[in-house]
Chain A
Amino acid sequence: METKAFQKIYTKVTQITKATCTLQASGIGYEEMATVNGRLAQVVKINGDNVTLQIFSGTEGIPTNAEVVFLGRPPVLKVGEELAGRFFNAYGQPIDGGPEVEGEEREIGGPSVNPVRRKQPSELIATGIAGIDLNNTLVTGQKIPFFADPDQPFNQVMAMVALRAKADKIILGGMGLTNDDYLYYKNVFDNAGALDRIISFVNTTENPPVERLLVPDMALTAAEYFAFDKKETVLVLLTDMTLYADALSIVSNRMDQIPSKDSMPGSLYSDLAKIYEKAVQFPEGGSITIIAVTTLSSGDITHAIPDNTGYITEGQLFLRRDSDIGKVIVDPFRSLSRLKQLVIGKQTRKDHPQVMNAAVRLYADASNAKTKLENGFDLTDYDVRTMNFAREYSNDLLAIDVNIDTTMMLDKAWELFGKHFSKAEVGIKQEFVDLYWPV
Chain B
Amino acid sequence: MEKNKLTTGKVAGIIANLVIVDVDGPVSQNEICYINLGGVKLMAEVIKVLGSKAYTQVFESTRGLKIGESVDFMGHMLEVTLGPGILSRNFDGLQNDLDKMEGTFLKRGEYTAPINVDQEWPFSPLAKAGDQVLAGDWLGEVKENWIGHKIMVPFKFEGKYTVKSVKAEGIYKASDTIAVLTDKDGREVNVSMVQKWPVKVPIKAYTDKPRPFRLMETGVRIIDTMNPIVEGGTGFVPGPFGSGKTVLQHALSKQAEADLIIVAACGERANEVVEIFTEFPELDDPRTGRKLMERTTIIANTSNMPVAAREASVYTAMTLGEYYRSMGLKVLLLADSTSRWAQALREMSNRMEELPGPDAFPMDLPAIISSFYARAGYVYLNNGSTGSITFIGTVSPAGGNLKEPVTESTKKAARCFFALSQQRADSKRYPAVDPIDSYSKYLEYPELQEYLAENISPDWLQNVLETKNLLLRGKEAYEQINILGDDGVPIDYHLRYWKSEVIDFVILQQDAFDKIDASTPIERQKDMLGKVLEVCHTGFDFDGFEEVNPYFKRLINVFKQMNYSLYQSGDFKKYEAELDAIIKERKAA
Chain A residues near B (Cβ < 8 Å): 26-32, 44-49, 74, 107, 110-121, 141, 228, 257-261, 266-267, 269-270, 273-274, 277-278, 280, 282, 302-304, 307, 310-312, 314-316, 333-334, 336, 338-339, 341, 353, 357, 360-361, 364, 372, 375, 377-378, 380-382, 422, 424-425, 427, 429-430
- Residues of A near B300 (CB, < 8 A) are 115
Residue from the list A74, A259, A381 in contact with B63, Cβ < 8 A: A74
Whether B359 lies near A46 (C-beta < 8 A) is no
Chain B residues near A (Cβ < 8 Å): 12-15, 20, 61-68, 90, 98-99, 101, 103-108, 240-242, 267, 269-271, 273-275, 277-279, 300, 302-305, 307, 340, 343, 346-347, 350, 353, 356, 359-360, 396, 398-401, 426-428, 482, 485-487, 513, 546, 549-550, 553-554, 556-557, 560-561, 564
- Residues of B near A314 (CB, < 8 A) are 269, 271
Q: Which 8 A-B pairs have the closest CB atoms?
A: A302-B399, A273-B303, A277-B304, A310-B241, A29-B64, A377-B485, A112-B304, A260-B360
Whether A110 lies near B105 (C-beta < 8 A) is yes
Residue from the list A115, A270, A381, A425 in contact with B90, Cβ < 8 A: A115
Whether A118 lies near B482 (C-beta < 8 A) is no
Whether A261 lies near B104 (C-beta < 8 A) is no
With A266-B343, A266-B360, A270-B343 as contacts: A31 and B275 at CB distance below 8 Å:
no
Whether B12 lies near A48 (C-beta < 8 A) is yes
With A260-B360, A424-B554 as contacts: A333 and B273 at CB distance below 8 Å:
no
CA distance A46 to B305 in the complex (A): 23
Min CB–CB distance B353 → chain A (angstroms): 8
> Which residue of the partner chain B has the closest CB to A51?
B67
Whether A334 lies near B426 (C-beta < 8 A) is yes
Whether A427 lies near B270 (C-beta < 8 A) is no
- Residues of A near B108 (CB, < 8 A) are 111
Whether B275 lies near A120 (C-beta < 8 A) is yes
With A269-B343, A270-B303, A425-B553 as contacts: A361 and B396 at CB distance below 8 Å:
no
Residue from the list B14, B106, B427 in contact with A46, Cβ < 8 A: B14
Whether A304 lies near B428 (C-beta < 8 A) is no
Extra 20 A-B pairs, beta carbons < 8 Å, given A277-B304, A311-B396, A375-B482: A29-B65, A29-B66, A31-B63, A47-B13, A49-B67, A111-B105, A115-B98, A116-B277, A120-B271, A257-B350, A277-B302, A302-B401, A307-B241, A307-B400, A312-B269, A312-B303, A360-B428, A361-B428, A364-B427, A378-B487
CA distance A47 to B61 in the complex (A): 17
Whether A427 lies near B271 (C-beta < 8 A) is no
CA distance A277 to B274 in the complex (A): 13
- Residues of A near B302 (CB, < 8 A) are 112, 115, 277
Whether A114 lies near B274 (C-beta < 8 A) is no
Whether A117 lies near B513 (C-beta < 8 A) is no
With A48-B67, A112-B305 as contacts: A141 and B98 at CB distance below 8 Å:
no
- Residues of B near A424 (CB, < 8 A) are 550, 553-554, 557
- Residues of A near B61 (CB, < 8 A) are 111
- Residues of B near A382 (CB, < 8 A) are 549-550
Selected A-B contacts with CB under 8 Å, 17 pairs = A30-B14, A30-B63, A30-B66, A44-B15, A48-B67, A118-B270, A118-B274, A119-B274, A120-B278, A258-B350, A260-B346, A260-B359, A260-B360, A266-B346, A333-B427, A353-B513, A430-B561
Whether B359 lies near A311 (C-beta < 8 A) is no
- Residues of A near B426 (CB, < 8 A) are 333-334, 364
Whether A377 lies near B271 (C-beta < 8 A) is no
Whether A427 lies near B106 (C-beta < 8 A) is no
Whether A114 lies near B350 (C-beta < 8 A) is no
Whether B346 lies near A46 (C-beta < 8 A) is no
> Which residue of the partner chain B has the closest CB to A270?
B307
- Residues of A near B346 (CB, < 8 A) are 260, 266
Residue from the list B241, B398, B428 in contact with A261, Cβ < 8 A: B398
Min CB–CB distance A133 → chain B (angstroms): 18
Whether A113 lies near B64 (C-beta < 8 A) is no
CA distance A225 to B278 in the complex (A): 26
Whether A339 lies near B427 (C-beta < 8 A) is no
With A46-B13, A116-B98, A266-B343 as contacts: A380 and B63 at CB distance below 8 Å:
no
CA distance A430 to B13 in the complex (A): 67
> Which residue of the partner chain B has the closest CB to A336?
B242
CA distance A108 to B398 in the complex (A): 30
CA distance A261 to B303 in the complex (A): 19
Whether B63 lies near A267 (C-beta < 8 A) is no
- Residues of B near A361 (CB, < 8 A) are 427-428
> Which residue of the partner chain B has the closest CB to A302?
B399
- Residues of A near B427 (CB, < 8 A) are 333, 361, 364
- Residues of B near A228 (CB, < 8 A) are 104
Min CB–CB distance B565 → chain A (angstroms): 10
Whether B104 lies near A120 (C-beta < 8 A) is no
- Residues of A near B307 (CB, < 8 A) are 267, 270
- Residues of A near B400 (CB, < 8 A) are 302, 307
CA distance A430 to B563 in the complex (A): 12
Whether A427 lies near B304 (C-beta < 8 A) is no
Residue from the list B12, B304, B561 in contact with A273, Cβ < 8 A: B304
Whether B556 lies near A427 (C-beta < 8 A) is yes
CA distance A194 to B279 in the complex (A): 38
- Residues of A near B556 (CB, < 8 A) are 427
CA distance A311 to B340 in the complex (A): 10
CA distance A29 to B107 in the complex (A): 18
CA distance A107 to B64 in the complex (A): 11
Min CB–CB distance A377 → chain B (angstroms): 4
CA distance A228 to B98 in the complex (A): 19
CA distance A353 to B428 in the complex (A): 12
Whether A112 lies near B106 (C-beta < 8 A) is yes
